[in-house]
Amino acid sequence: MRHVPAGRAAALDRADETVDRLLDAGREPGAVLVLTVGAAHPWQQHELSFGEERYWAQLTEGGDVFYADAELARPVRRSVVVLVVNGGSAARAAAAYAKALRHAEELLVVCGGTDPAVAGASLAAAGAPAPRVLPA
């Protein structure tokens, strides 16, 4: 897990920078899932403007970075999940963190929010495995 410190107002920008770095490092776009705790990512809003059916088809196709709300109910696993803590309550952020950890196969990057040690402690209290912290 990696943590990218940012306030709520800057969390989306840090997430976009993180996605760019992941792609520049050779990650395939379809390997990345971006989840927001607060307001929807602007790209998600854009894609939804073409209709729900087309939006969800992109998830199934898996060829591009997919942007969704952290409460995503559909089963999806991607190599990398970028969790954007850009709003919502602390309880919602903690629940989103636990869920994002289950969606991530290799790496979870948390942009904004609390220190990952705090999130890890809340997961441990809930009986979830502690995340492995990777260098930035």
Q: How confident is the model at residue 116 (pLDDT cuts 50, 70, 90)?
A: low
Q: What mean pLDDT do residues 39-52 have?
A: 96
Architecture of domain 2-125: 3-Layer(aba) Sandwich (3.40)
Burial letters 46-77, b for 16+ CB under 10 A, else e: ebeeeeeeebeebbeeeeebbbbbbebeeebe
Phi, psi of 79 (to 5 degrees): -55, -45
Percent of the chain whose predicted confidence (pLDDT) is above 70 = 83
For the stretch 71-102, pLDDT in tens is 999 989 999 999 999 999 888 999 999 999 99
pTM of the full structure: 0.85
Q: How confident is the model at residue 134 (pLDDT cuts 50, 70, 90)?
A: very low
Average pLDDT in the chain: 87
For tokens 């403007």, name the residue. 49
